[in-house]
Amino acid sequence: MSVVDHSAPSPEIRERFGVWRRSYAMLIKEFIQLRRDRVSFAMIVMLPVMQLLLFGYAINTTPHNLPSAVLLQEDSDLARSILKALENTAYFRFIYEVHDVEDFDNLLKSGKVLFGVEIPRGFERAVRRGDRPALLVAADATDPVAASAAIGSLGMVVQTALKHDLYIGNPPEMPFEIRAHARYNPAAVSSLNIVPGLVGTILTMTMLIFTALSVTREVERGTMESLLSMPIKPVEVMFGKIIPYVLVGFVQAFLIIGIGVGLFGVPVLGNLFLLALLSTLFITTNLAIGYTISTLVQNQLQAMQMSMMFFLPSILLSGFMFPFAGMPAWAQYVGECLPLTHYLRIVRAIMLKGASMQNLRFDALALAVLMLLAMTIAVTRFRRTLD
């Protein structure tokens, strides 16, 4: 029966089920290929799991324990209890105590702290006299989301502080006021934060893909075999493949910043040359990472997928979409390993805060280390032979 059927199917059956028969043949083939492609298979599982875990555990839009500094010009009991009260709000975590205005400003500029509390000289005396002195809280408002909740909590701090320690009697009104100052972005314009962030994000995406495909493309097209038979060293291949895109990235960065300044009125307060220099470093770091990816994968599809796997945490954990300071410690550690995290601090600090190289030493160094690490892996992974 079945022998007859498939050796000579009647013309009507062929016609009626032709679509399904052929689709089925295609479907079977696709499943077989999917099963062979381990990386694609892993992506099917990894992507949703990674997204869920990152969104679920790492991201917090009302961040707590924000790194803060205090400029202590008077060491009094009152000052101590105010700091205590600030920490009790759970929004602030004092990690620096400075006595000099310049140090205080540099901490904010470099992004090491998001808040600075200034307790002026003669503060306690002024309170006792009933002068109602002002306590200055400077917030880094480059990321308005991160700062807003904490600023909002300041109103309650006075009462809390008074309840505990104030021995001035029973003040009918506020004995001092807290003056919050949103630095760098007082009007909380979100484009001021987003445009510099986009420079980093777009560069990450494009640079990564340019080089992630470069080696696999040569392997897939068969040109790698003759390239390997010629007298060129892995480092030379890498430099040759990275340098052209440094220029491309540079043009891209220039374009985004130009539009940001021209259309959105984003300022560039810092040194343009410094911005260009550190952007070049960031571009090169991403190209090196992309190149490393291309030495690890087998084909261009896998290269794209691995680039995505790198890009996703970069967006989520770098402080681009969500406040970096709001993430749990482990996520911050992961974030510190991503070049975008450091570049976001750099580009925001230079454009919005007018930061200098001195303020950005750590992040520049981190970028350089990540770049060298990626290059080393790439050169050692690059196969000189076809073994």
Partner 1 sequence: MSGGNGIAIDVKGLTKSFGGREVVHDLSMQVMRGSIYGFLGPNGSGKTTTIRILCGLLTPDSGEGTCLGYDIRRDAEKIKRQVGYMTQRFSLYQDLSVRENLEFVARLYGLRDARGAARDMIKRLGLSGREEQLAGELSGGWKQRLALGACTLPSPKLLLLDEPTAGVDPKARRDFWNEIHALAADGLTVLVSTHYMDEAERCHEIAYIAYGHLLVHGTVEEVIAKSALTTYTVTGEDLNELTAALTGKSGIDMVAPFGTSLHVSGRDVAALEASIAPWREKSGLRWHKSSPSLEDVFIELMSRSKDNFQ
Binding site for partner 1 (CB under 8 A): 221-232, 384-387
CB of 295 to partner 1, least distance (A): 17
By beta-carbon proximity to partner 1, the closer residue of 10 and 226 is 226
CB of 385 to partner 1, least distance (A): 5
What distances in angstroms separate CA 21 from CA 12, 13, 29, 170, 359, one per listed residue? 13, 10, 13, 89, 67
Cα 273 from Cα 295, distance rounded (Å): 33
CB of 38 to partner 1, least distance (A): 17
Cα 348 from Cα 109, distance rounded (Å): 10
Sheet of 177-183: strands edge to edge?
92-98, 66-72, 115-119, 134-140, 177-183
By beta-carbon proximity to partner 1, the closer residue of 228 and 309 is 228
By beta-carbon proximity to partner 1, the closer residue of 12 and 387 is 387
- Asked whether 284 and 371 are in contact (CB, 8 A), the reply is yes
By beta-carbon proximity to partner 1, the closer residue of 28 and 232 is 232
CB of 39 to partner 1, least distance (A): 20
CB of 290 to partner 1, least distance (A): 20
What distances in angstroms separate CA 127 from CA 83, 153, 175, 201, one per listed residue? 16, 21, 6, 48
CB of 384 to partner 1, least distance (A): 8
By beta-carbon proximity to partner 1, the closer residue of 1 and 386 is 386
User: Which residues, in sequence order, are CB contacts of 128 under 8 Å at separation 6+?
Assistant: 168
By beta-carbon proximity to partner 1, the closer residue of 23 and 223 is 223
